[in-house]
A and B are shown apart, each in its own frame.
Chain A
Amino acid sequence: MAVIEARALAKDYGGRPAVSDLSFRVDPGSVTGFLGPNGSGKSTTMRLMLGLDEGEGSTTFDGTPFRRMQEPMRHVGALLEAKAFHPTRSARNHLRLLASANAIPERRVDEVLAMVGLTSVARDKPKKFSLGMGQRLGIAAALLGDPHTLILDEPANGLDPQGITWLRNLLKQLAGEGRSVFVSSHLLSEMALLADQLVVIGRGRLITSGAIDDFLRSNARTSVLVRSPDMARLGPALAEQGGYAAPEADGSYAVTGIPQNQIGNIAHAVGARVHELLTRQATLEEAFLDATGRSEEFVGHEQSRMPLPQPWPDER
């Protein structure tokens, strides 16, 4: 079971940096999600990790760079993009071809075809395949050598909802067996269901990495909804403790900077009535947008702004 260590990855296309000084680590036994806006360098990073692109830095899998591996598919399975196959070489022959260089028995070819549900079209030509079937063939290729590490670039692309559920369960199962799974996606909701760890990049630079729960908790959008008729008293008290209360449209307040239980204690101390007290976890999408907002290259203009803090209303 392998630890992936990427150190100081960098790559530029004609002077324009695609990835700069990117370091992260992927541990076995977890699904690590690789997030970033379009064009932030996710695919380039994955190609750098596998030595397909020439750039700076190094990536090792339990200490060995990919390009120095003998029979690499038995260690690292990769899905880089759909359609990395010859349109008239049958699905089965495509896998046999990959297996031939990695001392993988033919029995395994049929096994992975069954695993991804392509047995019935094993002898068909991929030019007739749908996007989803092509993606399944790519996943079959990644699984072929029963590798301890998987690197998957947008594996859910083109899959139907059943396929996505199947993929999610498969990746969780593989991680549960102690493998390292590194998977990029632009589907944040999918990532929220799938990943335990995150590596977030923007403009080719690391924004954050770590457990997905920490990422969400530390995000400013995680707030506590407070509904109180005594806000005129409670508000300043919260502000004193470093909290920030933003009024919501329905008269409640979204408080950030103080956890729920402490807000309750403060309310009790100042004698404020509280009708509702509820922690609202930031969604991965909100956290992601906040984290990558500054680095996003092609940012659209927002229609509306967050409401500005208002003076406390009179006591009712």
Chain B
Amino acid sequence: MGPALRYEWCRLWTIRSTYWLIGLTLVLQLSFSLLAAYGTGSAHEFIRPEEAVSQVITLGASFGVSPLFSAYIIAMFGVFGFGHEYRYGMIRATLTAVPDRSAVFAAKAVVTTALAAVLALACCLVGMFSAVLFFDTAGALTSGAVWHVVLGAVLYTAMFGLCGMAFAVLVRNQTGALALILLIPLVVENILKIVLQIIARSGNSVDSISRYFPFDAGAQMFARPSAQVINDVLGYHPLGPVSGGLVMLAFTGLLLAAALALFLRRDA
């Protein structure tokens, strides 16, 4: 495991995409959180400070009205972790340097998790900085509610990155994996959700299925209780943060297990 980790670490810091992706993540998070803070600041008398801060650091995702933007960029690290190997034939060089495939897989998972978690935390801190610039956070930065959102966003991003990595192994194609990690949470889950809701209105009670959609369930880790208002209107009853997180964890685990099983068996 040691050699594999050293290899993966060196791999990460000897390609340009690592640097521009980190830069892109932080610059976009700063720009959008400044805009969000500006918008929230002008209306912050209507919501509690911790909700305002949560909204700024997640760019609205804590209200359940938008996806966790930063996670989608950070997930590219997971996709590239294996995507670059397959795209450039590097996998053969990698496996002649580190022939233990489980170690290669584990090292990539560890580095993806660590990097995604650190970057997600950095994004939250950038969001807090933006919030402080535009409105009185009134002690919200030290409130448990805000840090629960931070924890949720960090855990979600780490798992999201791992899903990206697993997709890259499963399809052995960088572009395909990027498409999957973007389309499943943003399009597939939402379309299925709408379909299920239509069925539910016609008399069948099946909307309870949609709350187990892995990425939707995982998003409950950083959704604030006030999001419940919108959900009530939509007649949608999501899982709580802990059970939602566990559903996403189980999904991520299954995806990783399938990816590892294939990675161990397939030709490089």
Contact = CB atoms under 8 A, between A and B. Distances in A.
B89 A84 contact: yes
A98 B93 contact: yes
Interface string A82-110: 01111111100110111011110000000
Interface stretch (B4-12, B44-52, B181-189, B225-233): B4-12
Contacts, number: 88
Interface string B221-245: 0000000000000000000000000
Interface in A66-125: 66-73, 76, 78, 80-81, 83-90, 93-94, 96-98, 100-103
Interface stretch (B54-62, B97-105, B191-199): B97-105
Mostly, the A contact residues are loop
A290 interface: no
A51 B99 contact: yes
Contacts of B11: 97
A123 to B, nearest CB: 12
Nearest to A79: B96
A93 B14 contact: yes
A285 interface: no
B99 A72 contact: yes
Interface residues of B, number: 27
A204 B12 CA distance: 39
Contacts of A87: 88
Interface string B64-98: 00000000000000000000100011101101111
Interface in A164-210: none
Interface residues of A, number: 36
A69 B7 CA distance: 16
Mostly, the B contact residues are helix
Given A52-B92, A84-B90, A98-B93, A47 B7 contact: no
Nearest to B14: A93
Interface stretch (B120-128, B161-169, B260-268): B260-268
Interface in B119-167: none
A160 interface: no
A21 interface: no
A213 interface: no
Contacts of A81: 89, 92
A101 B7 contact: yes
A53 B7 contact: no
Contacts of B84: 86
Contacts of A83: 88-89
A102 B267 CA distance: 23
B8 to A, nearest CB: 9
A291 interface: no
Interface of B: 3-4, 6-7, 9-11, 14-16, 84, 88-90, 92-93, 95-101, 265-268
23 contacts: A47-B267, A50-B96, A51-B99, A52-B96, A52-B268, A54-B266, A68-B99, A70-B3, A72-B96, A80-B92, A84-B92, A85-B93, A86-B15, A87-B88, A89-B15, A90-B14, A94-B93, A97-B7, A97-B11, A98-B7, A100-B7, A101-B10, A102-B97
What 8 A-B pairs come out closest when comparing CB atoms? A101-B7, A93-B14, A101-B3, A100-B10, A84-B93, A52-B268, A67-B99, A53-B267
